A and B are shown apart, each in its own frame.
Chain A
Amino acid sequence: MLRATLKSLLARKLRLVLSGLAVLLGVMFVSGSFVLTDALGRSFDNMFSSAMAETDVLVTARPAIDVSELEGESVPGMLAAADRDAVAAVPGVAEVVGVVQADGARVIGTDGKVVASFGPPRFGANWTGETGGLELREGRGPTSADEIAVNVTLAELSKLKVGDRVGVLTTQPKKLFTLVGVFGYEGGLPGQGPVHEVRFTEPVAQELMLGAPGAYTSLSVTAAPGTDPAALRDAIKSRLGDKYVVQTGQEAAAAIAGDFKTILSLFNNILLGFAGVALFVGTFLILNTFSIIVAQRTRELALSRALGASRRQVIGSVMVEALAIGLLASVLGLAAGVGVGALLAKLAADFSSLVLASISLPLAAVISAFAVGIGVTVIAALLPALRASRVPPVAALQEVATPDRPLTRLTVSGASIGALGAGAIAFGLATSGDAVMWLLLGGVLATFIGVSLLSPVLARPVVSVLGRLFSWSVPGRLGRLNSGRNPRRTAITAAALMVGVALITGVNTTISSADRSLRGDAETGFQADLIISGQESPGVLPTFDEALLPRMRAVPGIGTVTAEYNDQALINEEPSWAAAVTDLPAVVRDLSLVAVAGSLAQPGPGEVVVDDQNATEAGLTVGSTVTVKLPKGEPASYRISGVYQRAPFYGGYIFGTDVVPGMRFPQPSFAYVRLADGADDAAARKGLEALLVDSPEMLVEDKQQYLDRELGEGAQLLLMIQILLGLAIVIAVLGVINTLALSVLERTRELGLLRAIGLSRAATMRMITVEAVVITVFGVLLGVAVGIGLGAAVVQGLADEGLSTLSIPWPAIGLYLAAGAALGVLAAVLPAIRAARINVLTAIAHE
């Protein structure tokens, strides 16, 4: 039996290649993700440990506000000069270097714009000489207050040269410096990874980056010769007490790398999620292929049954085939994954000037490749194998035609599984807690499976309606009839496409609903004529000089300018955002805020206003007090003086300007501008922009421009998701090609007959193409329907978060349909050529 199986396997190379390819691509995605994140992880390890090579013990302050990497940036704490002296006095300490380093030093390049970072920090630090692997490449370190040195990465991006006058934005408005040196790191590196670095003299760094003279963010301790770093660490720890984190250099390197690895593993999980989708789609393809193989082999299987093969042997023969395909696809997929992972790691490393650690094959990649590759194939082949075992021996004597089994059972189970999935989604959206994620995931999966099972029933009517579009020509009509011929096959092929399209449509519907909801609310709520703001990036909140405020108000045509300052804060121990405004009544008017309780007059010192949602969650009412700790201040008590109704685009704690000195960036990050009646809009805008010339990050925008920019991020997210789901779509298209190729093979005689009675080659190709397009468009339609459903469910579930209106992205959906049709044409190319090449005579003689 085994030999017969392997022989028939080789005889069906096309099927082998196509269905194997689907698994291969999925496995490649999985193992590639592991290889990529493993290589990047070890590269970060190396980077941090070389940065810490000369540090025996590192003392850091505990973060002032600690949030996990995933929620945002922690606010670093500070050490005082006295702490440095205390550490220096510990026996066994040879040297203590006080380090000042904080994110948010933005250099203005030669083009007048702030040098952008795509995510890595833009550190402002003190010059500590050529330590920690730092090497001067040009010039010297800064020695006076108006001098700076930058790393090679930044010098190259900004195109600045030694001797240039450079504007730098820090927690304070733009200051001018002379660039006196450019430095890199040992091993010829332009920087530590993709980080931008500006080095000031120590007092300048302390003032501009920390706003605290004499403070440090960490102390790098060198041990005296013969002193054990761990012993020294313990000595320092006992001297300083619990206030600070004391680690050996190695521990510190591992800790920082650990933080990065959390992000990397999240990244890996996201990639694996998309790989999972691709594999799920691949399952459909394999299921379909094996079903077709079994159908085509009905006679052969029946013959073997008649000759005495047992059911188990029949199942075995199909499963061995699946196992062989799975194994081969896993091996090749793993190899391809290592290649792709290595390539992406190389690209990522080049892009971020990281020294790439050697590529290795993590065990997780190997295990998951085989588990996933073989598992998916075998599971997908199980159903067809069972069906094969039910082929009765008499089938050997009957027509080969696959009987049209009734779809009732399929429909009932599809409907119930789909309903179960929808229920799980609804329940998941309504509840909260750890189970939500799993409920949603399981719900979506069940929905997909349910709809896939329902799709054969839908195929008949939908395909016949769709087909009408093509029925004007004979090839079109024949193609339509062919696609309606085996509803199961058409349906499952289309269902594979559905999965990817549904996810894309769902995300798009959610994003467009969020967009629409915010826009709708903002449209009516936003009363400001102009908004001054800058694009936030992690760790940096663009601000402008508050000294400009009176000059802005003096610009002709300007009515009011209300400034807002922002920073993170701990409020009753909870990380929150704190806003401070110069004139709350003006903000209330400009943003149409509505009072719920108390007063919305400008909060005085020690007073704060909060939105109703936060108030309810924290159990606050007018008159209750909250403890507020700002990054640079000590905890203080504030009294709730008013509660306002949360607007979809605005909420949180609003203080008076008394909190501003405690913020890291004690400058306005927002301003709401009202124009005077009859003012010249453009002229007023020009006036404001002229004043902001030293704050190139700040933009003066009207409501529309502001919303477009803020909501533009949704479009980027969508694009990313579409790219990552692209593989699932590619696999689905492989499925279409596979189905068509098999159909062409199956219908060789029919095609020969058609050619014999006068169907031309071109018409034959058109016929196949119509069949393909009907399948893909059906798949996209299914996907769009399911996707809109998923999107609507999410929007419903997030109604509390301000998603008030469901907005279906029709233009995008139209595009998906068009793309689906185009994919159909593409998928048809090879099978159509094959069909057109069929020799009439051999086709007629074909068994």
Chain B
Amino acid sequence: MTSPVIDTPAAGAGAAARAADLWKVYGSGEAQVIALRGVSVELERGRFTAIMGPSGSGKSTLMHCMAGLDSATRGHLTIGDTALNGLGDAGLTRLRREKVGFIFQQFNLLPTLTAEENILLPLAIAGRKADPQWFQTVIDTVGLGDRLGHRPNQLSGGQQQRVACARALVSQPEVIFADEPTGNLDSRSGAEILSFLRRSVTEHGQTIVMVTHDANAASYADRVIFLADGQIVDELLEPTADAVLDRIKRLDVMSSPTARPDGPPGQRTVEDSPSATATGATE
């Protein structure tokens, strides 16, 4: 069984990051775990992509590999026009400085620095100056104006994540990778974070990839990719929360051993429109 290559409208031209036939194997022999099984995906520039899937399906692994944090076992990876394969530590460091932004689930900030210093840290590390206008825009977007001088331990979890978002945005990277950025937040703080991410994509053309377990969070994205057992099994464009829930439910049924259909599950997903699934989620 091979995964489908997702056919996207802007394939090639606008790809901010790309993986082709990506395999990731941890360990060897008895303890061998195949986390990714030949995943191919393109993340279009200026789009907000969500990655969903059951726990252990390889979401984090996929993101780490695409971001150059982890090495691929096999396959070809690019960010912008830079190929990741064969880059050494210095090359990867430069890549992270110039092309990649991160937002983690927690522990995003250095406790010794103020919010503002944390936001400017990647630029400082790279020896660049922030564009004051852009900096102001970012601050305004995340709404941190009066908290800039505070240290992380003086900020709430939601505020800390906003600082982390601002930090990722301020250097205008090629791609921002966010691994469950709202995983630790209540729904209101989470919604705030998600709407900044949404706005930075819509208004400023930022490319964002986000791993999430939350259908509601996924509904902020332009596109949702479903992962199961190390493979891309489905995709949804312009998702709503209900459509996502519905799709998850269907995938669950399909992947349970008793109800597995014959054909590969991904093949009939693309033409499903978000509206078609609106009813399923309410029960």
- Would you list which residues of chain A between 810 and 847 have a CB under 8 Å from chain B? 840-841, 844
Q: Which interface residue of A474, A749, A757 has the most chain B CB atoms within 10 A?
A: A757
Counted as pairs of residues, one from A and one from B, with CB atoms less than 8 Å apart, the total is 63
Residues on B with beta carbons closer than 8 Å to the beta carbon of A474 = 121, 124-125, 127
Residues on A with beta carbons closer than 8 Å to the beta carbon of B70 = 841
- Is B64 a contact partner of A841 (Cβ separation < 8 A)? yes
Interface size for chain B: under 10, 10 to 19, 20 to 34, or 35 or more residues?
Answer: 20 to 34
Residues on B with beta carbons closer than 8 Å to the beta carbon of A484 = 112
Q: Give A473 Cβ to nearest chain B Cβ, in Å.
A: 9
Interface assignment of B102: CB less than 8 Å from any CB of chain A? yes
Interface assignment of B134: CB less than 8 Å from any CB of chain A? no
How far, in whole Å, are A482 and B112 apart by their CA atoms in the complex? 7
- Is A758 a contact partner of B69 (Cβ separation < 8 A)? no
Interface assignment of A760: CB less than 8 Å from any CB of chain B? yes
- Is A760 a contact partner of B93 (Cβ separation < 8 A)? yes
Q: Give A745 Cβ to nearest chain B Cβ, in Å.
A: 15
Contacts known (A481-B112, A844-B104); A757 close to B69, Cβ less than 8 A: no
Closest to A484 in B: B112
How far, in whole Å, are A753 and B64 apart by their CA atoms in the complex? 13
Q: Of B89, B101, B112, B126, which contacts A478 at CB under 8 A?
A: B112
Q: Give A22 Cβ to nearest chain B Cβ, in Å.
A: 28
Interface assignment of A664: CB less than 8 Å from any CB of chain B? no
Chain A 757-785, CB within 8 Å of chain B: the 1/0 string?
11111010000000000000000000000
Chain B 85-126, CB within 8 Å of chain A: the 1/0 string?
000011001101110011010011011110000000110111
- Is B97 a contact partner of A761 (Cβ separation < 8 A)? no
Q: Give A750 Cβ to nearest chain B Cβ, in Å.
A: 6
Chain B 53-84, CB within 8 Å of chain A: the 1/0 string?
00000000000100001100000000000000
Contacts known (A761-B89, A761-B93); A749 close to B107, Cβ less than 8 A: yes
Residues on A with beta carbons closer than 8 Å to the beta carbon of B124 = 474
Interface assignment of A755: CB less than 8 Å from any CB of chain B? yes
Closest to B98 in A: A758
Residues on B with beta carbons closer than 8 Å to the beta carbon of A841 = 64, 69-70
- Is A756 a contact partner of B102 (Cβ separation < 8 A)? yes
Closest to B70 in A: A841
- Is A758 a contact partner of B125 (Cβ separation < 8 A)? yes
Q: Of A401, A757, A844, which contacts B96 at CB under 8 A?
A: A757
How far, in whole Å, are A750 and B98 apart by their CA atoms in the complex? 20
Closest to B122 in A: A757
Interface size in chain A (residues, C-beta < 8 A): 22
Interface assignment of B18: CB less than 8 Å from any CB of chain A? no
- Would you list which residues of chain A between 467 and 516 have a CB under 8 Å from chain B? 474, 478, 481-482, 484-485
How far, in whole Å, are A753 and B69 apart by their CA atoms in the complex? 11
Residues on A with beta carbons closer than 8 Å to the beta carbon of B122 = 757-758
Interface assignment of A799: CB less than 8 Å from any CB of chain B? no
- Is B112 a contact partner of A757 (Cβ separation < 8 A)? no
Closest to B126 in A: A758
Q: Give A397 Cβ to nearest chain B Cβ, in Å.
A: 16
- Is B153 a contact partner of A758 (Cβ separation < 8 A)? no
Q: Give B69 Cβ to nearest chain A Cβ, in Å.
A: 5
How far, in whole Å, are A756 and B103 apart by their CA atoms in the complex? 10
Interface assignment of A754: CB less than 8 Å from any CB of chain B? yes
Chain A 440-484, CB within 8 Å of chain B: the 1/0 string?
000000000000000000000000000000000010001001101
How far, in whole Å, are A757 and B112 apart by their CA atoms in the complex? 16
- Is A758 a contact partner of B110 (Cβ separation < 8 A)? no
- Is B125 a contact partner of A759 (Cβ separation < 8 A)? yes
Q: Give A375 Cβ to nearest chain B Cβ, in Å.
A: 38
Interface assignment of B167: CB less than 8 Å from any CB of chain A? yes
How far, in whole Å, are A474 and B97 apart by their CA atoms in the complex? 14
- Would you list which residues of chain A between 719 and 763 have a CB under 8 Å from chain B? 749-750, 753-761, 763
Q: Of A755, A757, A763, A844, which contacts B167 at CB under 8 A?
A: A757
- Is A485 a contact partner of B90 (Cβ separation < 8 A)? no
How far, in whole Å, are A481 and B117 apart by their CA atoms in the complex? 12
How far, in whole Å, are A478 and B126 apart by their CA atoms in the complex? 14
Residues on A with beta carbons closer than 8 Å to the beta carbon of B89 = 760-761
Q: Give A749 Cβ to nearest chain B Cβ, in Å.
A: 5
Residues on A with beta carbons closer than 8 Å to the beta carbon of B94 = 758
How far, in whole Å, are A485 and B111 apart by their CA atoms in the complex? 9
- Would you list which residues of chain B between 110 and 158 have a CB under 8 Å from chain A? 110-113, 121-122, 124-127, 153
- Is B113 a contact partner of A758 (Cβ separation < 8 A)? no
Residues on A with beta carbons closer than 8 Å to the beta carbon of B127 = 474
Contacts known (A474-B125, A753-B104, A841-B70); A760 close to B90, Cβ less than 8 A: yes
Residues on B with beta carbons closer than 8 Å to the beta carbon of A760 = 89-90, 93
Closest to A763 in B: B125
Residues on B with beta carbons closer than 8 Å to the beta carbon of A485 = 111-112
How far, in whole Å, are A750 and B113 apart by their CA atoms in the complex? 12
How far, in whole Å, are A181 and B104 apart by their CA atoms in the complex? 90
Residues on A with beta carbons closer than 8 Å to the beta carbon of B125 = 474, 754, 757-759, 763
Q: Give B91 Cβ to nearest chain A Cβ, in Å.
A: 10
Complex A-B: 19 CB contacts under 8 Å: A478-B112, A481-B112, A481-B113, A485-B111, A750-B110, A753-B107, A753-B108, A756-B96, A757-B102, A758-B93, A758-B96, A758-B98, A759-B125, A760-B93, A761-B93, A841-B64, A841-B70, A844-B69, A844-B107
Interface residues of A (CB under 8 A from B): 401, 474, 478, 481-482, 484-485, 749-750, 753-761, 763, 840-841, 844
Interface residues of B (CB under 8 A from A): 64, 69-70, 89-90, 93-94, 96-98, 101-102, 104, 107-108, 110-113, 121-122, 124-127, 153, 167
The list of the 6 closest CB pairs from A to B, nearest first, reads: A758-B97, A481-B112, A758-B96, A760-B93, A757-B122, A474-B124
